[in-house]
């Protein structure tokens, strides 16, 4: 009556239709990999190596901003001396940065 019938079109035989449709998705994944995922994996690897190399006497800053000198290193915790006769235990993963020797003057 007022609405005409809609018939399905014959399927086209475009050999590159599927690949060309996936190309933008693949391109976005490659760009995401090189701009976000790869640098984050590199940063995590460097942090893991830094935490594994912690030793007594290193001057460190934790993720919470506490600066101090490493007094003892355990399996998963580090004892950090933040003032004279004041030692706190922090997880190794909480150590954000190892400072150059002599950065902290008097502890």
**Does residue 44 lie within any of the structural domains?**
yes
CA distances from 18 to 10, 24, 30 (A): 17, 11, 19
**Does residue 47 lie within any of the structural domains?**
yes
The residue segments making up the domain with residue 85 are 55-99
- pLDDT at residue 12 is higher than 60: no
The verdict on 73 and 46 lying in the same domain is no
Strand partners, 61: 67, 97
**Does residue 45 lie within any of the structural domains?**
yes
The verdict on 88 and 63 lying in the same domain is yes
**Does residue 7 lie within any of the structural domains?**
no
**Does residue 8 lie within any of the structural domains?**
no
The verdict on 64 and 84 lying in the same domain is yes
Residue 20 — pLDDT band, cuts 50, 70, 90? confident
**Does residue 1 lie within any of the structural domains?**
no
Q: Which pTM was predicted?
A: 0.71
pLDDT tens sequence across 34-46 = 999 999 999 999 9
- pLDDT at residue 66 is higher than 70: yes
The verdict on 61 and 84 lying in the same domain is yes
Domain count, the chain: 2
């Amino acid at each position: 009556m007022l609405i005409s019938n809609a018939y399905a079109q014959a399927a086209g035989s475009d050999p590159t239709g599927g690949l060309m449709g996936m190309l933008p998705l693949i391109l976005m994944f490659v760009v995401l990999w090189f701009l976000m995922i790869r640098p984050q994996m590199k940063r995590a690897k460097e942090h893991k190596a830094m935490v594994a190399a912690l030793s007594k006497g290193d001057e460190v800053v934790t993720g919470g901003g506490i600066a101090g000198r490493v007094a003892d290193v355990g399996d998963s915790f580090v004892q950090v001396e933040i003032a004279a006769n004041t030692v706190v235990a922090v997880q190794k993963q909480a150590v954000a940065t190892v400072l150059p020797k002599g950065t902290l003057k008097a502890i």
